Structure 1
Amino acid sequence: MLIDKVCPGCAGELVADVPAWCASCEWGLGRFDARRAPRVWGLRAADRVDHWLAFRLNRRQYDELAGRAVDERAPAGRRAGLLLVALPLALLGPACVAGGVVLTMLAGWLGVGLALVALGVALLWPHRQADPWGEWPLTPAEAPAFFALIRRVADAAGTPGPDAVALSHDVSAHMTLRGRRSLVVGLPLWGALDGPERVVLLAHEMGHFVNHDGRRHVVVRAAYHTVQTLYGGVAGSARRLVFAPLFLAVGVPLWGLFAGLLVLGGRDSQRAEDLADQVATRVGGTAAAARLLDALVTLDGLYPAMGARHLNHADPADWRTAAGQLRASTDVGLARLRSVRVDASLLVSHPPAGLRGRMVRSRPQHPPALVVDDAEWAAIDAELAPWFARLRARVRELHP
């Protein structure tokens, strides 16, 4: 089918995606891309609703927060609503176990009781996503300059520092807050960034230690686990048995429940990400924060770019070279808008990178509060050199 190349909204030229959209007035940007969108819900209609709803919620939240400071906590009503929905779901697993025991011991309903106990155990059983490649724990004795930088960033951000630090082979960074504060930094991403962008990256992760993300609450986590287990089991059974009525009768209501929980929790999670970006901007400066967020929409091809150019995976400078070439060859404006479209899903906890960069630029400009000199960066690169050598070996295992 031929596509009219003129935007009906502003008469500008359309971007040659399918469905097409306009980079000038953003007409058509929120339309669902059935060819590229992954099947995440097991039912294409649910994927369409998910995208439609998430795209509009993302834009609404951006309109609410753009140009102003983000509060450390979500509004009390939203937090209460999230907990109110999550609590009965979190208690479903223990209730099934207790009910099964009571039915078995007191009423003698052995079959029903055991079935309830089995369901309760399945709902309580943890989902472990094993990483066969693992992470590399790092200690202050192994990288004193790196840990000193982390402490300085935490002090500048006004947050606690991590209790544990690890390195990985991912083009990402993240923190966890289960039992102790842990920071994981992906070496490819670290190598791809310049000094000020690295400061912003660390400050963003420190911001997660104080941003009160509602989805980290133990009750909310348990509720997510329960609904994911139920929905995944029903959807999987329906696909294996080719029994669509089961999915329609049970899976669709479960999808609605899960989607409602994601709407409530996801808005708070995205607010928490915006607050972490705000902390990072205050520490590393607006210019570096905007550059980092722009980099995130270009670095998906970082590993292929390294391989195509036969660069040295053990050399941080080569990662920066590949990243620089990706940035130079990418129309960042279009990439930002594509991220707004592609990352529209209730299952995505972060705002689209394109909206994050726009959000940073909408607020008062900040100079960097923390500046690191070249000598310190050289010392940190020297300390991390053995782990970059491990990264090169891992890349050979992953991509022989």
Structure 2
Amino acid sequence: MPGVGRETRQQCPECGTEIRGDSRFTVWCAACDWNVDPEEPQPDTGRLERAERALARRHGEQLLAEMLSGREPRPRRDASAVAAIALALTVHGVTLALAVGGVWCLLAGWGGAGIVVGLVLLALAGVLAPRVHRLPDDRPVLFRADAPELFALVDEVAHAVGTRSVHAIAVDGSINASVMTYGVRGRRLLVLGMPLWEVLTPAERIALLGHELAHYANGDTRNGLVVGTALRTLSLWHHTLQPLPHPSAIEMVVNALYVVPRLLVRGALVLLVRLTSRAGTRAEYLADRLAARTASTQAAVGLMDRLLIAGPLGLLLRSEANRAALGGSRSTREATARADKLWELLTTYAASVPEHEYERQRRAGARRGHQIDATHPPTHLRRACLLGGEPMTATVVPQTHRTDQITAELATARTEVARRLLRDGPEA
């Protein structure tokens, strides 16, 4: 059974200390950190990579010191934020210029050539225009009438963090959660990864909701209409300009023509990510603080610990998906029973993870340091930041009857998600 492990004992090959472990997890030595991170990434070899990592580390340490200073930091529009907005507006301006140029070519009376050029420019503008998110059609989406108690809890948490609530809640198979806007009216969508939701306690679930909704309260520009859509547009441009594989003679010429535009787009994309990274990191720390204020420091720290074992949880889900595939087709009743059983296996496994595995994950995170392209600070630093501040008590307290009603409201969705997990494995 996934929730049961065999105790192991061996001597550390480095320092000779006796190591007691669990057969399901990496064997490592707490005395000398032997094998603490067997998948440790290769060190940076280029001058640019070393410089970027040093810069990220310095910024991360400055932000952590700021959060631990006792001050009440606010998201601020510094020079980087202003530059990011200016760059994003420039990106949208290019798309607008293509559209205006296309209309002008059509109306300029240049005959067939003008019409062809105008249509090409309009087509490019249409492809590269900012896209707003739509409600997902590949996963369960709940509205207030579907889950009144769940929405009542989200409303209460939103009020606690100082923002408006959401209009819809989507449920998927990721070990994650997120918020976004959808539609031209900018309605709010909360995405809950059911595997993460299932392994959290009721208080930790409130902390999760508090963290995600805090991104609205903090005004995180990465999720905003201007910068967020610019990031997606640049990513689309970069993907469109990728070299054609196995090119013919003509395609080699096209690839050569793409080189300069591709480098310019990549440079703009990297610059926009860099300009928003510090503000994004600060927003994560602020969201953690609001989560602690909403659900208590203890609950927010518990959430951090659960995030540390996302990898092992994913391995378990993939293992169960492989086992289901080998088992062949089943009746609807058997498939439903197996899907519901998946959550019991997952929660039992999560509850059985020993403390030494959590500690190994923290130490491995400390060794890896700040990742250049990460959208979040390292989890061990977020946890340390929570523990370094004044302990906070909960303003939103779990209620047993509400927890039971929310479970009932999510029953159909959780079964559907479990079936997909057993068929396809965990989502990214």
Q: State the TM-score bracket (shorter-chain normalisation).
A: 0.7 to 0.9
Alignment of 1:341 with 2:368, yes or no, is: yes
What is aligned with 1:183?
A: 190
Q: Distance in 2 between matches of 1:45 and 1:235?
A: 26
Alignment of 1:122 with 2:127, yes or no, is: yes
Shift of 1:172: 1.6
What is aligned with 1:385?
A: 411
Written as runs of structure 1 = structure 2, the 5 A alignment for 1:41-120 is: 54=56, 57-69=59-71, 71-106=73-108, 108=110, 110=114, 112-120=117-125
What is aligned with 1:235?
A: 242
Which blocks of at least 5 consecutive residues in structure 1 are unaligned? Answer: 21-28, 35-43
Which blocks of at least 5 consecutive residues in structure 2 are unaligned? Answer: 1-13, 16-30, 324-336
Cα 1:340–1:196 change in 2 (3 A) is: farther
Shift of 1:131: 6.6
Describe the SS at the equivalent of 2:190.
strand
What is aligned with 2:172?
A: 168
Structure 2 counterpart of 1:31, one-letter code: P
Q: Distance in 1 between matches of 2:162 and 2:130?
A: 37
Describe the SS at the equivalent of 1:235.
coil
CA contact (8 A) 1:173 1:186 kept: yes
Report the TM-score when normalising by structure 2. Answer: 0.72
CA contact (8 A) 1:238 1:247 kept: no
Q: Distance in 1 between matches of 2:272 and 2:380?
A: 25
Structure 1 counterpart of 2:102, one-letter code: G
Q: Distance in 1 between matches of 2:360 and 2:70?
A: 23
Q: How many residues are aligned here?
A: 372
In percent, how many aligned pairs have the same letter?
A: 26
Of 152, 157, 163 in structure 2, the residue corresponding to residue 153 of structure 1 is 157
Alignment of 1:263 with 2:289, yes or no, is: no
Q: Distance in 1 between matches of 2:223 and 2:410?
A: 31
Written as runs of structure 1 = structure 2, the 5 A alignment for 1:322-361 is: 322-326=349-353, 328=355, 330-335=357-362, 337-338=364-365, 341=368, 344-346=371-373, 348-361=374-387
Q: Deviations over 1:82-136 (max 9, x none)?
A: 222221111101101212332454373535544433332332164979977x221
CA contact (8 A) 2:222 2:280 kept: yes
Alignment of 1:272 with 2:283, yes or no, is: yes
Q: Deviations over 1:183-231 (max 9, x none)?
A: 2222211111112111101111221221111123332234223322222
The answer to which structure, 1 or 2, has the higher relative contact order (CA under 8 A, 6+ apart) is: 2
Cα 1:130–1:208 change in 2 (3 A) is: closer
Structure 1 counterpart of 2:227, one-letter code: V
Structure 2 counterpart of 1:180, one-letter code: R
Shift of 1:339: 7.7
What is aligned with 2:231?
A: 224
Of 287, 304, 309 in structure 2, the residue corresponding to residue 298 of structure 1 is 309
Shift of 1:51: 6.0
Q: Deviations over 1:228-267 (max 9, x none)?
A: 2222222344886678866764433432221111111222
Q: Distance in 1 between matches of 2:204 and 2:84?
A: 34
Describe the SS at the equivalent of 2:123.
helix
Of 364, 376, 381 in structure 1, the residue corresponding to residue 390 of structure 2 is 364
Alignment of 1:212 with 2:219, yes or no, is: yes
Shift of 1:333: 4.3
What is aligned with 1:283?
A: 294
Cα 1:186–1:257 change in 2 (3 A) is: same
Q: Deviations over 1:141-195 (max 9, x none)?
A: 4433333322332333333222222322222211223421222222211111112
Alignment of 1:201 with 2:228, yes or no, is: no
Cα 1:253–1:144 change in 2 (3 A) is: closer
Report the structure number with the largest CA radius of gyration.
2
Cα 1:70–1:238 change in 2 (3 A) is: farther
CA contact (8 A) 2:37 2:364 kept: no
Structure 2 counterpart of 1:117, one-letter code: L
Alignment of 1:135 with 2:139, yes or no, is: yes
Q: Distance in 2 between matches of 1:359 and 1:16?
A: 22
